[in-house]
Amino acid sequence: MVKHIVMWNVRGDTPEARQKSAQLVKSAFESLSGKIPGLTRLEVGLDVSAVDYACDVVLYTEFESQESLDAYASHPEHLRVKQVVGDVRIARHQVDYI
């Protein structure tokens, strides 16, 4: 199993605008559930700590194998989601581990 974690900071001039952007990212990635072969778990969380160094959104996923994760990167549904969230993100951090 490969775990793939991504965290983002999102755009927004006000806390409400950032919350709206974060919710867009959450909804977009949750729409992938059941659509990606080899993706066995998908969870999206929004930060509730409100500390200044926190990321706004986290994506936690588990894949059956490295090959499944590699295929996810170019899957049409994933590419669609990346396009949807591309304009609202201002920073992205990623960790993959076994």
Tokens of 68: 């499944």
Pairing of strands 57-63, 2-10: antiparallel
Pick the CATH number of 2-97 from 3.40.50.620, 3.20.20.80, 3.40.50.2300, 3.30.70.100: 3.30.70.100
What residues does each domain of the chain span?
2-97
pTM beyond 0.85:
yes
Cα radius of gyration (the chain): 13
Q: What was the pLDDT predicted at 2? A: 98
In the numeric block, the tokens 């076994």 are attached to: 98
Which segments of the chain have a pLDDT < 50?
A: none
